[in-house]
Amino acid sequence: MKTLHIVKIGGDIIDREHTLREFLSGFLKVEGPKILVHGGGKAASTLSERLGIQPRLVEGRRITDADTLKVITMVYAGLINKQLVAMLQNLGCASIGLSGADAALLPATRRSSAPVDYGFVGDIEPQDVNLPVLCSLIDAGLVPVICPVTYERGAGLLNTNADTVAAALAIALSACYTVNLNFCFGKKGILKDMEDENSVMEQLSEKEYLGFKKEGIVSKGMLPKLENAYRSLRNGVADVRIGQAADIELMIKKEKGAGTAITL
Amino acid sequence: MKTLHIVKIGGDIIDREHTLREFLSGFLKVEGPKILVHGGGKAASTLSERLGIQPRLVEGRRITDADTLKVITMVYAGLINKQLVAMLQNLGCASIGLSGADAALLPATRRSSAPVDYGFVGDIEPQDVNLPVLCSLIDAGLVPVICPVTYERGAGLLNTNADTVAAALAIALSACYTVNLNFCFGKKGILKDMEDENSVMEQLSEKEYLGFKKEGIVSKGMLPKLENAYRSLRNGVADVRIGQAADIELMIKKEKGAGTAITL
């Protein structure tokens, strides 16, 4: 099977123009079929603040109310998605920006309101991804640029975690490709010592991870990324790496020192 | 050649939920390949106001400065586009929302800054429309939902008049389809008497139009629509109609009294 590279970038990359440009020029050099999944960044919070939408948090997690969903749709599916597409086109990369509603790419299920009602938040299952449309776009030589605005059939738009979107896409596409999934963020990989930027783990097995998690060594923000990484590996994804956006080219070449290889 | 229906709806439709739903259920019944082009509506102005972006006008025309372009990208390509796609999916219509940047669908040229600098405003030529991608999406059974955010190669996003986008698409697609172009708005058609909603002209030839224009009978807001209509007819588009959104099904069936038929 052909190899497909899925790369997810978070808000910390999108918010820094130099870092983003550096990432995109690396992403451009990734050969073969590829998909870019992007999160949000500060623009959504900034816009919410400017509009006077008060963030509502439950147990430290933000609630997506109707107004917040509108902001997310505007910022993720509108501003960031189209700016990324335009930047890629300028680099000569034929890309197409999509939300999960487009061509019913990512049908989601609204999360149960019990025990906590997170609002317009959806979860997706890999088997629900619209593979035929996605594959035909890739076959046409286009690079899908996908934002985590999903869609519930019979209802409307939903907000989904971008790491979860990347993992669901990776698992679904493993049916037709050897999938290589890369989570890019600001750090060089998973750090052994949070205080030492150079203490990057070369690899992290699930067993080690569970031990670190128990000891509280892994930072809270990394948990969804890592849970999605192991879920992907258990469901057919060939390779998962977590590393620095600027290193994307090296990560894909599986060069030593470029990110942390996640293993079962 | 197969017939393709292109329908453009303006902000006055998008802003009224009942009218929009009525339109969409009519649009759903339009058989065969079709494209929906949408404009903006009040949401962009409302968001600009809430963000304290002062509208800058020159000779009564709004300037698209960098902040306004961001608002337009958020509202047109994000909020309205994705909401329309979700509404269509809910009705069972497989649709895909696109801006002109996506798959370089609508490459535009930034308008000259002389005599008036309108800012990030672009003009598109039918020959620049990315026909292969558009046709392959249509062939895949998808209904493209297109917003008038275009893209200048080597530069970035631009704002383009939605009537012009619809006309450029219609002219370009006339190479592979018999194209039927419909401009939908709140009135039943072109009125002989602006004070009488029922004084709809059955048809309006270019000669008559030029006469009316000279006499100042045609309202200013109709001029871009009509100029685009005649331009389309002169360049291969088979049929152009202007009428009420609620009448879309009848307009497409060319029923008497449903909109004004524009003729050369």
What confidence tens digit (pLDDT) does each residue in B65-100 have? 999 999 999 999 999 999 999 999 999 999 999 999
In this predicted structure, what is the pLDDT of residue B220?
Answer: 77
Q: How far apart are CA A160 and CA B91, in angstroms?
A: 23
pLDDT score at A159: 96
Q: Report helix, strand or coil for B258.
A: coil
Between CA B65 and CA B57 the distance in angstroms is 11
Helices (H), A184-240: 206-215, 223-234
What is the distance in angstroms between the Cα of B154 and the nearest Cα belonging to chain A?
Answer: 5
The mean pLDDT of chain A is 94
Q: What is the radius of gyration, based on Cα positions, of chain B? A: 18
Q: What's the length of chain B?
A: 264
pLDDT average, residue stretch A33-51: 92
CA distance A25 to A169: 23
* pLDDT tens digits for range B123-174: 999 999 999 999 999 999 999 999 999 999 999 999 999 999 999 999 999 9
Q: Can you give the pLDDT at residue B178?
A: 98
Mean pLDDT, residues B96-108 taken together: 98
Q: Quick one: pLDDT at residue B216?
A: 82
User: Which tokens go with A255?
Assistant: 């060069």
Place of tokens 């790491």: A163
- Which contacts (CB < 8 Å, 24+ apart) does range B228-232 have? B228/B163, B228/B164, B228/B166, B228/B167, B228/B183, B229/B167, B229/B181, B229/B183, B229/B262, B230/B206, B230/B262, B230/B264, B231/B167, B231/B171, B232/B167, B232/B170, B232/B171, B232/B179, B232/B181
pLDDT of residue A241: 98
Weakest mean pLDDT among A240-249, B1-10, B146-155, B183-192: B183-192
Across the range A244-257, mean pLDDT stands at: 94
Taking alpha carbons only, the member of B129, B125, B228 closest to residue B176 is B129
Within an 8 Å CB–CB cutoff, is residue A192 touching chain B?
A: no
For chain A, say whether B104 makes contact (Cβ under 8 Å): yes
Specify the higher pLDDT residue, B58 or B120.
Answer: B120
Helices (H) and strands (E) in chain B, counts: 10, 14
pLDDT at A126 over 90: yes
pLDDT exceeds cutoff 90 at B218: no
For residues B6 and B181, the answer to whether their CB atoms sit within 8 Å is yes
**Which pLDDT score, from 0 to 100, does residue B56 have?**
81
CA distance A118 to A62: 7
Please tell me the predicted confidence (pLDDT) of residue A260.
Answer: 97
Query: How far is A249 from B170, CA to CA, in rounded Å?
Result: 41
- Over residues A238-256, mean pLDDT: 95
Q: Which residue of A38, A67, A89 is the best one to mutate when testing the B interface, meaning the one whose CB has the most B CBs within 10 A? A: A89
Instruction: Say what the pLDDT of residue B183 is.
Output: 97
B160 lies within 8 A of chain A by CB = no
The pLDDT score that the predictor gives to residue A220 is 77
pLDDT at residue A18 greater than cutoff 90? yes
Q: How far is residue B103's CA from residue B188's CA, in Å, rounded to a whole number?
A: 35
Q: Decide if pLDDT at A143 tops 80.
A: yes
Strands (E), chain B: 3-9, 34-38, 57-58, 61-62, 95-98, 109-110, 122-123, 143-146, 149-151, 157-159, 178-185, 203-205, 239-244, 260-263
A154 and chain B in contact, CB less than 8 A = yes
3-state secondary structure of A264: coil
Confidence at residue A40, expressed as pLDDT on a 0 to 100 scale: 84
Host H or E run for residue B82:
helix B81-90
Token readout for B169 is: 């698409």
Q: What is the pLDDT of residues B32-48, one digit of tens each?
A: 999 999 988 788 989 99
User: Is A259:A189 a contact under the CB 8 Å cutoff?
Assistant: yes
Count of C-beta atoms within a 10 Å radius of residue B131? 16
Q: What is the pLDDT of residue A239?
A: 97
Look at residue B222 in the predicted model and tell me its pLDDT. 85
Inform me whether the pLDDT recorded for A216 exceeds 90: no
pLDDT for position B47? 93
Classify burial at A16, counting beta carbons within 10 Å of its beta carbon; exposed 0-12, middle 13-18, buried 19 or more.
Answer: middle
For residue A156, the chain B residue with the least C-alpha distance is: B86
Give the mean model confidence (pLDDT) for residues A58-82.
Answer: 92
> Residue type for A1, please?
M
Mean pLDDT of A246-263: 94
Q: Which of B68, B74, B99, B158 is the best mutation test for A, with the most CBs of A within 10 A?
A: B74
Q: Which two tokens stand for residue B54?
A: 């002062």
**Average pLDDT score over residue span A193-210:** 92
- Is the pLDDT at B233 greater than 80? The verdict is yes
Using pLDDT thresholds of 50, 70 and 90, give the confidence band for residue A77.
very high
Instruction: Summarize the confidence of residues A42-46 as an average pLDDT.
Output: 89
Asked if A109 and A145 count as a contact pair (C-beta separation under 8 A), the reply is no
Tokens coding A218: 């892994």
pLDDT of residue A118: 92
Q: Kindly identify which residue of chain B lies nearest to residue A149, measuring between CA atoms.
A: B82
Residues A25-47, mean pLDDT to the nearest whole number: 93
User: Token digits for A183?
Assistant: 């989570």
What is the least distance, in Å, from the CA of A208 to any CA of chain B? 41
Q: Which residues are CB-contacts of B106 (< 8 A; sequence separation ≥ 6)?
A: B99, B100, B124, B128, B129, B130, B146, B150, B151, B160, B165, B168
pLDDT at A56: 81
Residue B216 CB partners (closer than 8 Å, separation 6+): none
pLDDT of residue B227: 95
Residue B38 falls in which region: left (phi positive, over 0), alpha (psi -120 to 50) or beta? beta
Q: How far apart are the first and last CA of chain A?
A: 22
| Contact criterion met (CB < 8 Å) for B83 and A151 | no
Res A61 pLDDT > 80: no
Helix axis angle for A223-234 and A162-173, nearest 10°, is 10
> How does residue B49 score in pLDDT terms, banded at 50, 70 and 90?
very high
User: Is the confidence at residue A115, as pLDDT, over 90?
Assistant: no
Given a cut of 90, whether residue A192 has pLDDT beyond it is: no
